[in-house]
Amino acid sequence: MGSSPETEHPVKAFGYAARDSSGALSPIKFSRRETGDEDVRFKVLYCGVCHSDLHSIKNDWHNAKYPMIPGHEIVGVVTEVGSKVKKVKVGDKVGVGCMVGSCRSCDQCVTDQEQYCAKSVQTYNSPAIVTYGGYSDHMVANEHFIISWPKDLPLDGGAPLLCAGITVYSPMRYYGLDKPGMHVAVVGLGGLGHVAVMFLKALGIKVTVISTNPKKKEEATSKLGADSFLVSRDESQMQAVMSTMDGIIDTVSADHPLPPLISLLKPNGKLVLVGAPTKPHEVPAFPLLLGMNLFYLLGRKLVGGSLIGGMKETQEMIEFAAKHKITAAVEVIPIDYINTAMGRLQKSDVRYRFVIDIANSLKST
């Protein structure tokens, strides 16, 4: 008979877990490991609610292990450090994002791309070992996977950057969509998209927001500083800017066609997918080679993807955000509101990220 989550490890913990694919979250007592020589233990203060939390608890990706404690946008204050820890000390503010482990020796790990390590360990619902996320009273992680928190970056608005922020920042850097004066579009103005606009503007980029919802124009241009706004269903608007963009960051997780977006790219332009639709995209060859039609014989375009970032890049992103005063737009909620919040998230009824006030609302009974 296997051990229960409560007795597997020596340190008692408390959180909220989903028990099955209904996704309903409720209190759970569980346990975490003792603080090892290279470990950092911290009290969780805030945890962001990522759209992938919703997919995971409902087993949309068919890889759920229950009970599941979600949460990978976690910030807190250090309560204990192992004897070999050098990065942080007790009392420091820290963060943990989507990863808490990797092999540390493969080609990906030694080039600071731990997110692509075949043995990477997710913060929760990891396939290799049992891990529990940030909807909980405290965390423990190897110091390599701890982010040092800048003093002037708010904890609540900063928490979502540990997933949403690095998910859009990493492809900007890797695909070279970070040069002042470039023209880059952001598809979708949600949790990822609104952060992407702020990062691009801080990099000196001309930004166009593309959305199916014309009501988002005011938010995109007036509040977030986008230079222009396109309604993707308006063919005349889309046609007017064909072959004008250096790159596109596509944050949308709903099914949508790629050829209209590809047509907006200049030759050598790059469409980078960071959203994860449940149905596979169709990527037609013709627009990549030639453009959309014989009047737009402009090809050599790239469709790529990107998954979060390594630890070094995530630290760089957090410091960049602090320098440029970039935080996510958040609605702070108590933990007992989480099931209502998940229902609202499913309907995209949030501007733009829920963040759970763990410290003030998660009480063990």
Going by C-alpha positions, the residue among 325, 169, 155 that lies closest to residue 249 is 169
- 155 near 149, Cβ under 8 Å? yes
Alpha helices in 175-271 (DSSP H): 191-202, 217-218, 235-240, 259-262
Q: What is the DSSP letter of 288?
A: H
Residue 222, Cβ density class (10 Å: 0-12 exposed, 13-18 middle, ≥19 buried): exposed
Residue 287: the pLDDT is 59
Model pLDDT, residue 5: 76
For β-strands 353-357 and 39-49, DSSP reports them as antiparallel
Cα 243 from Cα 254, distance rounded (Å): 24
Tokens of 183: 């023209």
CA 177 from centroid of its chain's CA atoms: 18
| Cβ count near 208 (within 10 Å) | 24
C-alpha 224: how far from chain center? 19
* Sheet with strand 228-231: strands edge to edge: 228-231, 206-211, 183-187, 245-250, 265-273, 302-305
Residue whose pair of structure tokens reads 């977006």 in the numeric block: 261
- pLDDT for 280 equals 73
In this prediction, residue 154 carries a pLDDT of: 98
pLDDT of residue 319: 98
pTM of the model: 0.93
Q: How many helices and strands (H and E) does the chain possess? A: 12, 17
CATH fold group of domain 165-305: Rossmann fold (3.40.50)
- Res 295: pLDDT: 44
What's the DSSP call for residue 129?
S
Q: Which residue has the tokens 């960051």?
A: 249
Q: Which amino acid is at 87?
A: K
Strand bridging mode 265-273 / 302-305: parallel
CB 135 within 8 A of CB 70: yes
Q: What is the CATH number of domain 11-162+328-361?
A: 3.90.180.10
Q: H or E segment at 300?
A: none
> Residue 52's closest CA among 285, 277, 302, 329?
277
Token pair in block for residue 201: 């503007």
Cβ–Cβ < 8 Å for 327, 305: no
Domain ranges of the chain: 11-162+328-361, 165-305
What is the predicted pLDDT for the residue at 363? Answer: 86
Q: How far is CA 288 from CA 66, 235, 252, 292, in A?
A: 42, 19, 20, 8
**What pLDDT score does 1 carry?**
42
93, β-bridge pairs = 77
pLDDT tens for the chain, 365 residues long, are 456 777 778 899 999 999 999 999 999 999 999 999 999 999 999 999 999 999 999 999 899 999 999 999 999 999 999 999 999 999 999 999 999 999 999 999 999 999 999 999 999 999 979 999 999 999 999 999 999 999 999 999 999 999 999 999 999 999 999 999 999 999 999 999 999 999 999 999 999 999 999 999 999 999 999 999 999 999 999 999 999 999 999 999 888 889 899 989 998 999 999 987 767 777 766 555 555 554 444 578 899 999 999 999 999 999 999 999 999 999 999 999 999 999 999 998 999 999 999 999 998 75
